[in-house]
Amino acid sequence: MTSRFVTSTDGVRIAVHESGNPDRPTIVAVHGFPDNHHVWDGIAAELGDRFRVVAYDVRGAGESDKPRGRRAYRQEQLTADLLAVLDAASPNEPVHLLAHDWGSLQLWDAVSTPELVPRFASFTSISGPSIAYASRWLRSRGHARDSARQLLVSTYMLAFQLPVLPELAARAGVIRRGAEKVGGYDPHRGLAETSNGVNLYRANVLRQLFLTEPRRTMVPTLVLVPTGDKFSSPAVASGAPVGWVDDLTVREVEGGHWVVLRAPALIAAEVASFVDAHVPVAAGKRKARR
């Protein structure tokens, strides 16, 4: 694995880690909360012979800079971070996006931005439905029971809007224990520093839930739905993108919220199959980067 830093538009340095075959199509993997890029280690190992895997630490996590304050974590800046990574890692060829949890939540903005669509060959989303799509779906008729269930398991998102208390809970290990008990997180894996990541929720959830007008997604999208996910309702994950994504594939997979950690071979096989079906002809064989 090789590592380097790229600089985003506000001066924040983003740590980028590359592994796999440099001659093959590029998969850019974006982790969620409270993880760092190591959440992809098992999947990257499975995919390494067939693809080039680029994983980066989201701002506030891992080896990337950790700015303070919620404004530094707004969606616009997260998209700018992604573009900084793409400009460095694959400036001339479209990439295949792979994302989990908050990594997925943030990428819906990019794949639904018309001028950015040519930069993406495909998008695989795991346990991270678009907040804007989910908001519309939950408010539509016939989903009252699923709406109630999702609201119940999403109370932590509202709690994260409070000042100071979420940071104290993070430092006391409450978030870690909750991830292990409710979400099935592997306690032997290290989580990212969680107090900065809380600002992802503060900066974006309420804005996207009530103020963001949904845009259509024109990038071919695979939504993997873990059947035992306690944080992202399978019904919402499956239903929210329907009608908003032009080329949508939804597949259920056995596992919980952190299926990316617990069953890397399973997820890697799904990702590889989808990527193989959406490789641009010119990108089938890449020249190694010097």
Query: By CB neighbour count within 10 A (0-12 exposed, 13-18 middle, 19+ buried), where does 156 fall?
Result: middle
What is the predicted pLDDT for the residue at 101?
A: 94
What is the predicted pLDDT for the residue at 11?
A: 98
What is the predicted pLDDT for the residue at 1?
A: 86
| Mean pLDDT, residues 175-182 | 64
What is the predicted pLDDT for the residue at 212?
A: 67
Q: pTM here?
A: 0.87
| Mean pLDDT, residues 119-139 | 93
What is the predicted pLDDT for the residue at 25?
A: 96
Check pLDDT > 80 for residue 233.
yes
What is the predicted pLDDT for the residue at 181?
A: 61
Percent of the chain topping pLDDT 70: 77
Q: What is the pLDDT of residues 88-128, one digit of tens each?
A: 999 999 999 999 999 999 999 999 999 999 999 999 999 99
What is the predicted pLDDT for the residue at 9?
A: 98
Query: By CB neighbour count within 10 A (0-12 exposed, 13-18 middle, 19+ buried), where does 198 fall?
Result: buried
Q: How far apart are CA 14 and CA 7, in angstroms?
A: 6
Instruction: Name the band, by pLDDT with cuts 50, 70 and 90, for residue 47.
Output: very high
What is the predicted pLDDT for the residue at 34?
A: 86
